[in-house]
Structure 1
Amino acid sequence: MNNESQISFDAQYHNFTIACPIPAFCVGSLREIFFDCFNQTLFHCHHCGVGRTVVLLFFMIVFGFLILVGNSLVILVGFKRWKQEKASRLDFYKTSLAVADAMAGFQALFLMPYNVIWSMNLTPIKLGARWFELKQSPEAFIGGLFLLFGAISSVFHLLCMGTEMAYALIKPLQYRRLSRKSLYTSLLLLWILSIFASAGIAGIPDFLCIYFASAFLFIPAGLLEKSGVLGGTTIYAIPTLSMLALCGVSIAFVRNRRRIGEDDADNSRMSEIMRRQTISILKTVILMQAVFIACTAPSFVVMLVTYFSDLSCEIEGRAYSFAFYITGTNSLYNVLIYSARDKTFREEIIDLISPGYLRRKKAQALRGQLRERQPKGNPLETATA
């Protein structure tokens, strides 16, 4: 590579401290990719290649499809229960959460593959130039805000569900008296707060959204810069600690009630009957929160490592890409948790996929009951005897 190319590289990339404009799956440093593939698109660059791109696209499309379809089924089941007046308060929250989770599926199925295709069809130098063009562009701002809003709304939903379960355990009679109007108000406020929280973060001075080429996402740049790591960890730590606190309160209350019930068998029986279903739902919510914390933990760890160490933008890009992808899979795990924990939900999902399943199952159960009620043996022999 000639001196002109060296000057071009230094002029454009020597200030890169975050978000190298190269895909995370490309092998080699930014400098190596730039010089080895100066006149080649990333599709044809041996550091990246078509094979890796196809594999990434495959997983994006599969996960995006599963997230979008799975959460759409949750929404349909919730709507069906609401229409039949069988929906519980948790069903409403699960349906609303599915809307927030579906946003991640939409991004993985449509937006990210589109970003992969146009990015890989550029040379490294053109992708770098495009990175600068997109910096704080309307496209980047909308994409970053979309990602931020989906994440914040999911966190708020989990917090509200944890609060509901704690209240249902501690004040069961008052909880049963809560009206549907209060539920609709809570859901409306939840979405309004998510909008205001996202807009409030976007309104911070020097708020910047960029195209994160390593993961093919538009994200708030503050998540990657050292100056924004403390803010990012705070945003992560507050809801996480709140969830853990709510779980701790609920578990401690259940254990305390069981300990008291051991001294009074009648109260123990009554308490167990009244709270058995609530405790089962509580286990589901705690499992959802635990999976959420596990999926978001890699991002938290990467933020801390980035803050306390001086890593190259290539390593940071790959680490953040891995963390973001793991976080995104949480939107699919919620559907799997519902399916594993709720037999009725599984049956209603099957009924949506195979119409008439529940009707056939009820008919089969009814025939089984009729057979059990029939007298055993041959009725003619009984009459003769």
Structure 2
Amino acid sequence: MLTDLNQTNCSSCCCTPGNRIFTVSFMIILILAILFGNLVILAVFLGTKQFRTPQGYLKTSLAVADLALGVLVVPFSVYGEITLLLVNASTSERTHEVLLLGSWHPCYLVGPVFAGCTLVSISTIFLLTIERSIAILKPLHKEVVITKRRTLLLILLSWISSFFLAMIPMIFSHGGIVVEYNPCSRMCNYAPAPASPAHVWQILLLFPAFDFSLLGGTLVINALSLTTIHQYSRKRKLLSGTDQEPLKVSFSDIKAAKTIGTLTIAFTVSFTPIAVFVVGNVLGYQWCTFSFFAFWILASNSCCNVIIYSVCDQRFREGARQLLVSLLRSFFCCWRSPH
């Protein structure tokens, strides 16, 4: 029998005032990290001419999706936790009443945004992998196949399709699935409506099925690209010192492919607990503590891309360094200027 998350006792989720204060502190730090990291990414990719490429636009789309979590999703969790701490709400029914804004619950906006942005991230990483695989496997056709116009169109389609998919549980369940603030995960999650049939909850299996299909394809394509890169490296060593024509794949293309491979692995690792949690709920298991770690591991991934770019991409490091130097110069000039 499916366990109704609406009846979850908050005491089983360790929702004590002390734990709530610690949780809010973690959320605030995460907001600052997400905002700082993704604003740096946007400033570098949009402010530097050399990054205004199809790959740069895709990474910008990924940063916007991550930034949306730091602007809307995580701040609402902070608001929810502080509000519940002040009113000492102990049940999810009471939680629902406390967080209502008039007759409308903010989770009907925040929940689909979280799901939609997660799907955008997965689809964007898939598009990045396709773009890099063409650059590696068909380097002579890269400029013809990969154009800015096609890339921008694919980005638009990925956003539209991802948010449509995020709304499917509410649209096609005919009221059987709602969005509520879950005291276990501390996020707005999909949940079965009271007296809804048990099979309605299985609609949410669409999310892990779609996500792992894309992630699985992405991992396979990345493996193919990295295998090709390894073969190219071996050929370069064999051709060094000879008069044969050099290989057409550039060093920057190889580094970009490795960077995107790292992005794919990081996102797969962070998303897997969510998929396990959703499948477990469909099967009738209630994992309160696990749900908190699953959702917030995924949310924390939104501030990791800037670290991956900084470690793997020398051009990004240089762009970020120039941005930081420019900001510091502006700050000191304003500070020293007479008032």
Q: 8 Å contact 1:351–1:357 — kept in the other structure?
A: no
Q: Which amino acid in structure 1 is aligned with residue 219 of structure 2?
A: L
Pairing partner for 1:97 from 37, 40, 62: 62
Instruction: State the partner residue of 2:186.
Output: 216
CA distance in 1, matches of 2:33, 2:171: 34
Q: Which amino acid in structure 1 is aligned with residue 141 of structure 2?
A: Q
Instruction: State the partner residue of 1:72.
Output: 39
Change (3 A) 1:357 1:129: closer
Pairing partner for 2:165 from 197, 208, 211: 197
CA distance in 2, matches of 1:264, 1:244: 30
Aligned length: 316
Residue 21 of structure 1 and its aligned partner are, at CA, apart by: 4.7
Higher mean C-alpha deviation, range 51-60 or range 188-197: 188-197
Change (3 A) 1:126 1:247: closer
Deviations 1:261-315 (A, max 9, x none): 67766698611x633221111000000000001111222233344455x54x4xx
CA distance in 1, matches of 2:138, 2:267: 27
CA distance in 2, matches of 1:140, 1:71: 24
Q: Which has the larger radius of gyration?
A: 1
Gaps of 5+ in 2: 193-197, 330-339
Q: 8 Å contact 2:122–2:211 — kept in the other structure?
A: no
Q: 8 Å contact 1:350–1:357 — kept in the other structure?
A: no
Q: 8 Å contact 1:140–1:218 — kept in the other structure?
A: yes
TM-score (norm 2): 0.80
CA distance in 1, matches of 2:126, 2:184: 31
Change (3 A) 1:226 1:274: same
Gaps of 5+ in 1: 1-14, 31-46, 359-385
CA distance in 1, matches of 2:266, 2:42: 21
TM-score (norm 1): 0.71
Q: 8 Å contact 1:60–1:108 — kept in the other structure?
A: no
Q: What percent identity do the matched residue pairs reach? A: 20
Q: 8 Å contact 1:295–1:330 — kept in the other structure?
A: yes
Q: Does 1:330 align with 2:330?
A: no
CA distance in 2, matches of 1:194, 1:148: 8
Matches within 5 A, 1:32-43: none
Q: 8 Å contact 1:260–1:268 — kept in the other structure?
A: no
Change (3 A) 1:267 1:212: farther
Pairing partner for 2:317 from 346, 352, 355: 346
Matches within 5 A, 1:347-366: 347-355=318-326
CA distance in 2, matches of 1:70, 1:114: 22
SS in 2 for 1:79: helix
Deviations 1:85-121 (A, max 9, x none): 5533222211121000111212465211100011223
Instruction: State the partner residue of 1:366.
Output: none
Instruction: State the partner residue of 2:21.
Output: 54
Pairing partner for 2:149 from 176, 181, 198: 181
CA distance in 2, matches of 1:240, 1:190: 15
Instruction: State the partner residue of 1:162.
Output: 129
Q: Does 1:18 align with 2:9?
A: no
Deviations 1:307-346 (A, max 9, x none): 55x54x4xx2221111001111111111110111123322
